[in-house]
Amino acid sequence: MSDGPRPDPDASAAEGSDGSTPLKRVISPKLLLLFVIGDVLGTTIYALTGQIAGRVGGALWVPFLVAFLVAFLTAFSYLELVSKYPRAAGAALYVHKAFGVHFLTFMVAFAVMSSGITSAASAAQGVSGDYLAAIVGPDVPSWAVAIGFLLLLAGINLRGISESVRLNVLLTLVELSGLVIVIVFGVIAILGGSGDPGLGGDPGRLLEFNTDTGPFFAVTSATALAFFAMVGFEDSVNMAEETRDPVRTFPRMVLLGLCITAMIYLAIAVVTSALVPTGLLAESDGPLLLVVQAAAPWFPPVVFSLIAIFALTNTALINMLMASRLLYGMANERVIPRAFGSVLAVRRTPWVSVLFTSIIAVILVSSVTIADLGGTTSLLLLMVFAVVNVAVLVLRRDRVAHEHFTAPTWAPVLGAITCVFFALPITGRPLEEYVIAGALLGIGVLFWLANHFLGRRVDFDPAALDK
């Protein structure tokens, strides 16, 4: 902890930096913990576990363990920065303070927004796949369902933020109930040997690696996709201005939240790999349904599929909400055309930004596989995390008056190195993911250029991006 007097925990909320009315500090430590847990759990565990197993083999727990270790390194950087600058805007604010380059700040914000869109598109494909087939049969066109799902989310988003937040609380509870079912029934089946023998329960698979690529590339390729689980991690720092005493609260609750989610992911990975053959997992976008069928054949597949669809809806809703608000914030800051800041007069929601992000998601879900969408999300996130890890080292020269969390220097150094490594093609990451990420960031560059030639403001405030 740095030296210096400690101010009133809520004193920084007394007035905005520009004299405006600040956000109200209403998020308690427990609520922040639930937010972190609910945001990290989601599409990866419900829909992408099978794709990750297809890359690594039976040792499904290994890439999740590596992904969380890398995330913990970056978490230390975020905790130093959020306790040092307890404001919303996350990575964009930190990069702007560290480097002062408006274009870099904008591209970081746009990358975060793009990761939200690709994450939501992944969830949409998960909703329209095996889980839906278990409810209505295999004859429903999945692409039509995925598009309809995204349009439904757009309607919820357009209706208002309060409706979205209330729905998110309900969906988070449903999401957790599904994971409890998988873990409890899975452990009972493994210990009691009562799993469905037709699905081939075999704990020995936990030490098997993909023989086509070898252990190293099997783990690195799978970890590159498993890092998709961290897409919600960056969202939590945007709650800084609405959290009570963020300097004390964030380090404890974020690290605890990551520990809890890591244990959940590892438990799911062990149960899944032990009960279901890798080949079946790799072919399914509803892997946890296979686990439930193996562990408890009597459990109605329709019920669990509904739970999974609600869980995927939760992930998609959070990310589309974040993406549209970031785009709206950038429009208000005049770093993209101002039309994207248009608001519905009645509902007071950013309708142009909502429609634009929804259209991009529809295009992606209609043309890209769920594995490539998940990998692209991971790639964008790793790029952002690498820059944030460098930013925390640069900002060590910036002193603040209040106490704050200080990460050990080795954490951001290792965090930057590992994030860059897992973003490189040498990990076995498919070329398609770079193409998709490049196309999305290219849209951001076009926005920046259009705004540059139309005239832009010079008093760019990255803290407004998430308002």
What are the DSSP calls for 50-65, one per residue?
HHHHHHH-S-THHHHH
pLDDT of residue 94: 85
Position 10 pLDDT exceeds 70: no
Residue 460: count other Cβ atoms within 10 Å of its Cβ.
18
pLDDT of residue 460: 54
Position 407 pLDDT exceeds 60: yes
The two tokens of residue 252 are: 């404890």
Q: Which amino acid is at 433?
A: E
Instruction: Return all residues near 103 (Cβ < 8 A) that are at least 6 apart.
Output: 448
- How high does pLDDT run on average in the chain? 81
CA distances from residue 79 to 82, 87, 244 in whole angstroms, order as listed: 5, 12, 15
Give the residue with greater pLDDT, 245 vs 185: 185
Give the residue with greater pLDDT, 10 vs 37: 37
Phi and psi, residue 219, nearest 5°: -70, -45
**Dihedral angle over CA of 368, 424, 59, 370, nearest 10:** -10
Q: What is the mean pLDDT of residues 440-463?
A: 73
pLDDT band at 464 (very low <50, low <70, confident <90, very high): low
pLDDT of residue 79: 86
The two tokens of residue 450 are: 């259009």
Position 189 pLDDT exceeds 80: yes
Rounded Cα distance between 126 and 46, Å, is 8
- Give the chain's length: 467
Which range has the worst mean pLDDT, 72-86, 162-176, 211-225, 377-391?
162-176
Rounded Cα distance between 310 and 12, Å, is 37
Give the residue with greater pLDDT, 135 vs 24: 135
Residue 415: count other Cβ atoms within 10 Å of its Cβ.
26
pLDDT over 70 percentage in the chain: 82
pTM equals 0.82
Angle (deg, nearest 10), helices 287-295 and 161-192: 40
pLDDT band at 243 (very low <50, low <70, confident <90, very high): low
pLDDT band at 18 (very low <50, low <70, confident <90, very high): very low
pLDDT band at 461 (very low <50, low <70, confident <90, very high): low
Q: In terms of Cα–Cα distance, which of 222, 294, 299 is closest to 265?
A: 222
pLDDT band at 212 (very low <50, low <70, confident <90, very high): confident
pLDDT of residue 240: 59
Q: In terms of Cα–Cα distance, which of 343, 320, 329 is closest to 462?
A: 329
pLDDT of residue 462: 59
Q: What is the mean pLDDT of residues 330-348?
A: 74
Q: Which amino acid is at 144?
A: A
pLDDT band at 352 (very low <50, low <70, confident <90, very high): confident
pLDDT of residue 13: 41
pLDDT band at 11 (very low <50, low <70, confident <90, very high): very low
Q: What is the mean pLDDT of residues 359-388?
A: 91
pLDDT of residue 238: 61
Which range has the worst mean pLDDT, 64-78, 158-172, 221-235?
158-172
Rounded Cα distance between 309 and 59, Å, is 26
pLDDT of residue 287: 92
Position 268 pLDDT exceeds 90: yes
Q: In terms of Cα–Cα distance, which of 334, 451, 327, 442 is closest to 380?
A: 442
pLDDT of residue 329: 73
pLDDT of residue 235: 65
Q: Burial of 320 by CB count in 10 Å (0-12 exposed, 13-18 middle, 19+ buried)?
A: buried
Position 5 pLDDT exceeds 60: no
Give the residue with greater pLDDT, 72 vs 337: 72
Rounded Cα distance between 391 and 237, Å, is 15
What are the DSSP calls for 73-99, one per residue? HHHHHHHHHHHHS--TTTHHHHHHHHH
pLDDT band at 421 (very low <50, low <70, confident <90, very high): very high
Q: What is the mean pLDDT of residues 50-64?
A: 92
Between CA 282 and CA 214, with CA 276 as vertex, the angle to 5 degrees is 55
Q: What is the mean pLDDT of residues 277-283?
A: 90
Position 23 pLDDT exceeds 50: no
The two tokens of residue 340 are: 């994207």
pLDDT of residue 36: 78
pLDDT of residue 266: 94
pLDDT of residue 185: 93
Q: Please name each of the domains of the chain with its CATH number.
A: 32-464 (1.20.1740.10)
Cβ atoms of residues 225 and 68 within 8 Å: no
